[in-house]
Amino acid sequence: MNQELQLENYEKKIKRVIISEEEIRAAIKKAGKTIDAIYDGRPIVLVSILKGAFVFMSDICRAVSVPCEIAFMCAKSYYTGTQSSGVVRITMDLDRDIKDCHVVIVEDIIDTGRTLNDIIKVLKSRNPASLRVVTLLDKPSRRVVDLKADLSLFTIPDLFVIGYGLDCGEYYRNLPYIAEYGE
């Protein structure tokens, strides 16, 4: 396949923008203020769930004014395509102790909730002072576990979405907005 045809197919998969860059920016600014109010100057550890949440983490850490450290975990449930495998694997763990820390998990999207549910169990077992979840996107209609984020920036319907860190087959993470992916 030649490069021109690949680009044409790439762009055709972006069905429609559902959350604009400006809407994301405004929601993150508001979320930063909410996080600041919750912690009132106390230091926090922001834990990004890779790969999808890295863009969101970058913006959230700049939106808060409380002292913060960043840490990363990687967990997978989507391996290829647009369907969850239903199996969650933690493929990269934290490289620091979080005992007695105020931890905020920074997630890109909560879909079935399996991945995040497993991560929460692991982190709670490490005795943080507090553990909260902030997610960019929430898809409650797909939930299969009893899980609710402490702070959700956007609730979306059951669509496969890309952009702002979210991918399909590792592509589209660089889009500055959230779009519906179309086959």
Q: Is residue 4 part of a domain?
A: no
Range of the domain at 23: 12-78+85-181
Query: Does the annotation count 111 as an active-site position?
Result: yes
Q: Is residue 3 part of a domain?
A: no
Q: Is residue 93 part of a domain?
A: yes
One-character DSSP codes across 25-63: HHHHHHHHHHHHHHHTT--EEEEEEETTTHHHHHHHHHH
Catalytic residue chosen out of the listed positions 36, 59, 95, 111: 111
Number of domains in the chain: 1
CATH of the domain at 90: 3.40.50.2020
- Each residue's pLDDT tens digit, 86-112: 666 788 999 999 999 999 999 999 998
Q: Is residue 44 part of a domain?
A: yes
Q: Is residue 1 part of a domain?
A: no
pLDDT score, position 86: 61
Q: Is residue 7 part of a domain?
A: no
Q: Is residue 141 part of a domain?
A: yes
Question: At 62, phi and psi to the nearest 5?
Answer: -85, -15
Q: Contact, 93 vs 47, CB < 8 A?
A: no
pLDDT score, position 83: 57
Q: Is residue 5 part of a domain?
A: no
Q: Sorting pLDDT into bands at 50, 70 and 90, what band is 5?
A: very low
What would the mean pLDDT of 70-77 be, rounded to a whole number?
86
- Each residue's pLDDT tens digit, 114-165: 889 989 999 999 999 999 999 999 999 999 999 999 999 999 999 999 999 9
- Each residue's pLDDT tens digit, 12-64: 889 999 999 999 999 999 999 999 999 999 999 999 998 999 999 999 999 99
Q: Sorting pLDDT into bands at 50, 70 and 90, what band is 2?
A: very low
Residue 104's closest CA among 155, 57, 40, 165? 57
Whether 79 shows a pLDDT value over 60: the answer reads: no
